[in-house]
Amino acid sequence: MGYGRRRPAGGLELRAWLFMRISGLFLVFLAIGHLAIMHLINSVDVVSYEFVAERFTTPFWRGYDLLMLWLAMLHGTNGIRTILDDYIHNPIWKKISKGVLHLVATTFLILGTIVLIFFQPRI
């Protein structure tokens, strides 16, 4: 623990702190895998609608992208929640900003999940 920051004592903040570390580790490997598949193994010229539609014919790739979506959205939302706690001191504005944050994050999470689960390729 460097720079004077201490680990949270317990409860929600401890679970959020642990989630950030674990999800961040998973996201590093998921993102590297995504970049390798989409940009290193396959040329940018190959990546098209047909390429993605073919990938989504297998449950593995849908699950991979779904896991990456959920971890990234929850990780990012938790990080922004922490920033809001640090910089907004008025309890009313804090509650409003967190409500908007959670509404937007939930909306994107639901829409992304719907797309990944119910996507029907046109090939």
With respect to residue 60, please indicate whether it lies within any of the assigned structural domains: yes
- Angle at alpha carbon of residue 81, lines to 98 and 100, rounded to 5°: 25
With respect to residue 30, please indicate whether it lies within any of the assigned structural domains: yes
**Nearest alpha carbon to residue 62 among 113, 9, 123:** 113
* Whether the predicted model's global pTM rises above the 0.75 cut: yes
pLDDT score, position 26: 97
Structural domain for 42, as ranges? 11-118
With respect to residue 5, please indicate whether it lies within any of the assigned structural domains: no
With respect to residue 73, please indicate whether it lies within any of the assigned structural domains: yes
CA–CA distance, 42 with 25 (Å, rounded to integer): 25
With respect to residue 6, please indicate whether it lies within any of the assigned structural domains: no
Quote the number of domains for the chain: 1
Q: What is the pLDDT of residues 91-102, one digit of tens each?
A: 999 999 999 999
CATH code: domain of residue 23:
1.20.1300.10
